[in-house]
């Protein structure tokens, strides 16, 4: 894989806030992980050993070191996580207003979003009261179990 492509992918991951990206081109495979830790945060590029041997553009003796890119600090607060795997929706339907927006004050039990799983629409409610500091998922995006959805402060 061309190093310019790799640099572009690293920049995109750092700017977008995506936590992980894996790309395969033929037999080559690259995985970019954006760690969100409370201390200085970084994006690392992890290239599996078998993929290193296949890359013709790199000298055989040159070691591949992780690339570190600074990322902005994550807001602190209560993290609302997805209770299931499904598709995240910020409103009841495309024409409706969003349940909550960044900066809104919410009460415990208030509906924050909907997760569609197996053709069922599941309302996800706040388990704490506070202010929406961050919305971690894009409308219409698939979510995994225990994936952060909102940060409430």
Residue 61 and residue 84 in contact, taking contact as beta carbons nearer than 8 Å: no
78-81 sheet: strands from edge to edge: 78-81, 148-152, 130-135, 105-106
pLDDT for the residue numbered 24 = 77
The phi-psi region of residue 126 (left if phi > 0; otherwise alpha if psi is between -120 and 50; otherwise beta) is beta
Whole-angstrom CA distances from 117 to 58, 88, 136, 140, 148 are 44, 9, 19, 12, 17
Q: What is the CATH architecture of 78-152? A: Beta Barrel (2.40)
Q: What is the pLDDT along the chain (153 residues), one digit of tens a residue?
A: 667 777 787 777 777 777 777 777 777 777 777 765 444 455 556 665 554 444 555 555 555 556 555 555 656 889 999 999 999 999 998 899 999 999 999 999 999 999 999 889 999 999 999 999 999 999 999 999 999 999 998
The phi-psi region of residue 146 (left if phi > 0; otherwise alpha if psi is between -120 and 50; otherwise beta) is left
- pTM, whole model, 2 decimals? 0.52
pLDDT for the residue numbered 110 = 94
pLDDT for the residue numbered 65 = 57
pLDDT for the residue numbered 68 = 59
The strand pairing partners of 36, in sequence order, are none
């Amino acid at each position: 894989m061309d190093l310019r492509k790799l640099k572009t992918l690293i920049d995109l991951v750092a700017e977008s806030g995506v936590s992980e990206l894996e790309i395969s081109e033929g037999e080559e495979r690259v995985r970019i992980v954006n760690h969100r830790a409370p201390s200085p945060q970084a994006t690392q590029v992890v290239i599996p050993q078998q993929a290193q041997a296949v890359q013709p553009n790199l000298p055989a003796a040159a070691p591949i070191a992780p690339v570190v890119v600074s990322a902005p600090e994550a807001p602190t607060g209560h993290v609302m996580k997805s209770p299931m795997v499904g598709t995240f929706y910020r409103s009841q339907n495309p024409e409706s207003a969003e349940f909550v927006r960044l900066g809104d004050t919410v009460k415990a039990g208030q509906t924050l979003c909907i997760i569609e799983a197996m053709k069922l629409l599941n309302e996800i409610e706040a388990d704490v009261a506070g202010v929406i500091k961050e919305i971690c998922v894009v409308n219409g995006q698939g979510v995994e179990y225990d994936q952060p959805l909102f940060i409430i402060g």
